[in-house]
Chains A and B, each alone.
Chain A
Amino acid sequence: MPLGRIRIVISTDADIVVARRSGRELADQIGCSHTDATLVATAISEVARNIVTHAGRGEIIISPVDEGTGEHTAVEVVARDEGPGIPDVERAMEDGYSTGRGLGLGLPGARRLMDTFEITSEVGVGTTVVMRKRRST
């Protein structure tokens, strides 16, 4: 398979654009619709900006996923940082987002856009988000 994983170091705004463009491209390559590719790019934008704003530096790894069919049917995004961590992950993931009540972390938004979403975070250690989007059909 010619598709491979892509790793982007995130530390500036410009890196966010690179990350989401890569995400869009990979989503296209595995057969996602134009709309789904936009969702992936948007979710990446959210978590990447999160890294820049709250951790200062981190990495995003985007890879094609074979979920057992022999073909790449999903895109997986891992966003990792060694920032301050989130003390109350549950509260951060609350949907008070659009009214501004949420902590503005963009994470609940990203979760809404993707098919699977997992987050682990430890204060003083860092945060890791793993999310996937499947191509439809």
Chain B
Amino acid sequence: MAVPILKQGDYLIATIQSAMTDSEAEQLRDDLMERIGRYRSRGIIVDITALDVMDSFAARSLRNIAHMTLLRGADTVVVGMQPEVAFAMVQLGLTFEDVHTALDLEEGLAFLEARTGR
């Protein structure tokens, strides 16, 4: 049930398949932190294309991940948010202000390139 994490060059791509439990979210965070250390990754893409509901817990989890990876020098961008989920999130009042988002994997990579490439 762990979230699969792929390494693509300097970046890690975590693809979330379905709703995460508390422990799965923790696991993901730990896995990412471990790999960032191991590969010196500079960017993380969290793909939420498969998520059909984003509640406050999931949003908090993603925010935590973004914050923690940043402490290790890696930017995180969340990609693939479904239109209905985006709508629900703003209705819920979740702002996600400090978490970068992009349309899809391609855009996410472009975003990271722009930010980390120099």
Contacts and interface: CB of A to CB of B under 8 A. Distances in A.
A, B in one complex: yes
Q: Chain B: interface residue count, which band? A: 20 to 34
B55 interface: yes
At the interface, is chain A mostly helix, strand, loop or mixed? Answer: helix
Nearest to B20: A13
Contact of A41 (B52, B83, B91, B94): B52
Q: Chain A: interface residue count, which band? A: 20 to 34
A38 B52 contact: yes
Interface string A3-26: 000000000111011001000100
B95 A42 contact: no
A109 B55 CA distance: 9
B19 interface: yes
A95 B84 CA distance: 23
A20 B92 contact: no
Given A17-B18, A17-B19, A35-B84, A112 B92 contact: yes
A97 B59 CA distance: 13
Interface string B1-35: 00000000000000000110111000000000000
Interface of A: 12-14, 16-17, 20, 24, 34-35, 37-39, 41-42, 45-46, 49, 95, 97-98, 104, 106, 108-109, 112-113
Interface of B: 18-19, 21-23, 52-57, 83-85, 87-88, 91-95
Given A24-B52, A35-B88, 11 more contacts: A12-B21, A13-B21, A17-B19, A20-B19, A37-B84, A38-B84, A39-B88, A46-B56, A106-B55, A108-B93, A112-B92
